């Protein structure tokens, strides 16, 4: 099952946008927020599972055994030992998925056809082209797109780096 989960990560999103759009049209979710939120969540889940599983495999088993010997129930073990251990990995996955979703262009272009529902990453398309008349507006929009990502990264930089480097050094 884990191998099949890993193989889903090799499929580029551009190759499945059309089937996703056809499915969303059947559900009536074109030009709706759930038409973007649910596919993004589904496409991010395999990546999150792989990262968190790898993080848990690298965590010390002795810590879990010691908590069980000290009288922790399975729920207490999960709540007081496992959750604090995987906090950097969960934050890393959340930030990574936010960045990927925020910068994703193709699925949003296909699903959001109405101009009232277009995501912010689709707006620069209006200001680019052969006769780009307003480069100042284009660069202002690009700054607006980049600022939330920079702000988010500065808030969670410590956890992001810890989650990224976890398991990199064996000791």
157-165 and 135-155 helices, crossing angle to 10°: 70
Q: Mean of the pLDDT values across residues 144-157? A: 89
Name the residue with tokens 């759930």.
34
Residues 6+ apart with CB under 8 A from 152: 95, 98, 99
pLDDT band at 146 (very low <50, low <70, confident <90, very high): very high
pTM for the full model?
0.80
> Which pLDDT does position 117 carry in this prediction?
86
Q: DSSP H helical segments within 9-134, as ranges? A: 13-27, 34-58, 61-69, 74-77, 83-103, 106-111
119 Cβ contact list (under 8 Å, min separation 6):
36, 108, 112
Contact 18, 110 (CB under 8 A): yes
pLDDT given at position 171? 46
Q: Which CATH number fits domain 2-165: 3.40.50.720, 1.25.40.10, 1.10.3720.10, 1.20.1600.10?
A: 1.10.3720.10
- pLDDT, one tens digit per residue, over 12-44 is 988 999 999 999 999 999 999 999 999 999 999
Average pLDDT over residues 41-62: 90
Q: In whole angstroms, give the CA distance from residue 112 to residue 31.
A: 5
Give yes or no for a contact between 158 and 137, defined as CB atoms under 8 angstroms apart.
no
Residue 93 neighbours by CB distance under 10 Å: 21
Q: Where are the domains of the chain?
A: 2-165
């Amino acid at each position: 099952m884990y191998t099949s989960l890993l193989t889903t990560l090799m499929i580029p999103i551009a190759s499945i946008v059309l089937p996703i759009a056809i499915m969303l049209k059947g559900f009536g979710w074109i030009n709706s927020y759930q038409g973007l939120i649910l596919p993004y969540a589904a496409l991010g889940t395999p990546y999150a599972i792989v990262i968190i599983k790898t993080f848990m495999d690298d965590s010390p088993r002795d810590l879990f055994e010691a908590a069980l010997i000290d009288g922790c129930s399975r729920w207490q073990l999960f709540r007081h030992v496992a959750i604090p251990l995987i906090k950097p990995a969960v934050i890393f996955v959340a930030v990574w998925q936010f960045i990927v979703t925020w910068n994703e262009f193709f699925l949003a272009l296909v699903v959001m056809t109405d101009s009232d529902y277009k995501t912010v990453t689709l707006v620069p398309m209006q200001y680019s082209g052969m006769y780009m008349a307003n480069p100042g507006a284009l660069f202002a929009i690009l700054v607006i797109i980049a600022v939330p990502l920079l702000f988010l990264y500065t808030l969670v930089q410590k956890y992001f780096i810890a989650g990224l480097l976890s398991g990199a050094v064996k000791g």
